């Protein structure tokens, strides 16, 4: 029986108690934006949207044309939805405060197009979103409305533009995945209450950073490779360079993803990934799917943010493997 995301969102909303329906409308708006971005991604080789704009973003990264398209589309849709009061985007230095005439009661932090370096080589990319309540008093949101710990999240999700387009989200009642059926233009339920398998099959890390890792990461990676005095069957290694794609494979097949702190860039002592637009939403999903997400010695979702673009080490996925990493870290303290 075909269950569209619209129907599922309404059913999920009923579990949240009496709300004015704006929450489900917000999730629906994000699903619509995902369909439009998916269309552009699928045509990227044709409609001259591949390539860099020549600009660099606040992260100091090359901006791809599809980054700009996705960011502007999502900001435009969310700003005129009547449901959002502030938007924190990986592409914008400052939060976007929505015009009071359109402002709603939710905050969205997002990475509009994660892994955009993969566009030119036709590898998977994604969109990541985190939904929070407005915290400030008064009608107009403040920039600090985006600076909330992950435990405050009401919902989170991602869209993966891979061999098919999949939207995965949770509102706190488990994780559900929907596959876009391009013949009808609908996201259809394909992964109901998806959870990390108990068996950890893969580890995902950029091995090219091995020379810059600290002792904790070095010891953990040796373990997963079956090296050392307690050899074990090694995990498989898979790394796509887009967090959404690596996370999704590990969620479906069993695995752990790491972007630990490293000494590669003195300006990024906590690794590369952003707390608010990558780590927190993926941590919310991981915990809802029976997994865990740590910054190395503690729960990612308990970090109290001080900057929109602050970074954090990320070890996320199979609960036992994340716990093993934390045990090694605590043993070395």
Which residues contribute to the site for ligand P6P (CB under 6 A)?
Answer: 114-115, 117, 206, 241-243, 259, 272-273
Report the residue number, 57 or 79, with the smaller CB distance to ligand P6P.
57
Report the residue number, 4 or 62, with the smaller CB distance to ligand P6P.
62
Give bridge partners of residue 125 from the DSSP assignment. 161
Shortest Cβ 56–ligand P6P spacing (Å): 13
CB 49 within 8 A of CB 66: yes
Report the residue number, 24 or 109, with the smaller CB distance to ligand P6P.
109
Report the residue number, 242 or 308, with the smaller CB distance to ligand P6P.
242
Report the residue number, 203 or 259, with the smaller CB distance to ligand P6P.
259
Shortest Cβ 61–ligand P6P spacing (Å): 7
CA distances to 95, 127, 145, 271, 325 from 322, rounded to whole Å, are 32, 24, 30, 17, 5
Shortest Cβ 99–ligand P6P spacing (Å): 30
Supply angle C-alpha 112, 308, 212, rounded to 5. 85
| Cα–chain center distance at 331 | 30
Shortest Cβ 122–ligand P6P spacing (Å): 16
Torsion on CA atoms 128, 151, 218, 268, rounded to nearest 10 = 60
Shortest Cβ 91–ligand P6P spacing (Å): 12
Shortest Cβ 144–ligand P6P spacing (Å): 24
CB 200 within 8 A of CB 252: no
Report the residue number, 24 or 165, with the smaller CB distance to ligand P6P.
165
Locus of tokens 């391009």:
182
Shortest Cβ 60–ligand P6P spacing (Å): 12
Shortest Cβ 245–ligand P6P spacing (Å): 8
Shortest Cβ 160–ligand P6P spacing (Å): 11
CA end-to-end distance (rounded Å), the chain: 53
Report the residue number, 88 or 115, with the smaller CB distance to ligand P6P.
115
Report the residue number, 132 or 243, with the smaller CB distance to ligand P6P.
243
Report the residue number, 116 or 148, with the smaller CB distance to ligand P6P.
116
Supply angle C-alpha 112, 293, 309, rounded to 5. 40
Strands (E), the chain: 52-56, 62-64, 84-89, 96-97, 106-114, 125-133, 155-161, 165-170, 176-181, 186-191, 202-204, 236-237, 255-259, 292-294, 314-317
**Rounded CA separation 77/71 (Å):** 10
DSSP class of residue 238 equals -
Name the burial class of residue 304, with classes exposed (0-12), middle (13-18) and buried (19+) by CB atoms within 10 angstroms of its CB: exposed
């Amino acid at each position: 029986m075909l269950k569209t995301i619209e129907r599922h969102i309404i059913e999920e909303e009923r579990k949240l108690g009496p709300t004015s329906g704006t929450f489900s409308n917000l999730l629906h708006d994000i699903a619509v934006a995902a369909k439009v971005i998916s269309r552009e991604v699928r045509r990227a080789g044709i409609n001259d949207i591949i390539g860099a704009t020549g600009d660099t973003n606040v992260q100091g990264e090359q901006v791809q044309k599809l980054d700009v398209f996705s960011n502007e589309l999502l900001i435009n849709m969310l700003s005129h939805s009547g449901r959002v009061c502030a938007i924190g985007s990986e592409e914008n230095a400052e939060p976007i405060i929505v015009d009071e005439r359109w402002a709603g009661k939710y905050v969205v932090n997002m990475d509009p197009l994660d892994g955009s370096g993969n566009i030119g080589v036709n590898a998977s990319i994604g969109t990541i979103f985190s939904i929070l309540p407005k915290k400030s008093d008064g009608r107009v949101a403040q920039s600090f409305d985006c600076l909330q710990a992950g435990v405050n999240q009401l919902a989170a999700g991602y869209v993966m533009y891979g061999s098919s387009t999949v939207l995965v989200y949770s509102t706190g009642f488990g994780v559900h995945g929907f596959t876009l059926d391009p013949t009808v233009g609908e996201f259809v339920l394909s992964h109901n209450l998806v959870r990390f398998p108990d068996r950890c099959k893969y580890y995902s890390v950029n091995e090219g950073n091995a020379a810059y890792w600290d002792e904790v990461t070095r010891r953990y990676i040796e373990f997963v490779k079956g090296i050392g005095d307690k050899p074990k069957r090694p995990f498989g290694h898979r790394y796509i360079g887009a967090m959404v794609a690596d996370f999704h494979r590990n969620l479906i097949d069993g695995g752990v993803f790491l972007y630990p702190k490293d000494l590669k860039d003195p300006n990024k002592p906590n690794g590369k990934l952003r707390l608010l637009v990558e780590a927190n939403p993926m941590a919310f999903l991981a915990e809802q799917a029976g997994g865990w997400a740590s910054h190395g010695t503690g729960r990612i979702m308990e970090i109290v943010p001080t900057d929109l673009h602050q970074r954090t080490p990320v070890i996320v996925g199979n609960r036992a493997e994340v716990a093993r990493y934390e045990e090694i870290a605590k043993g070395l303290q």
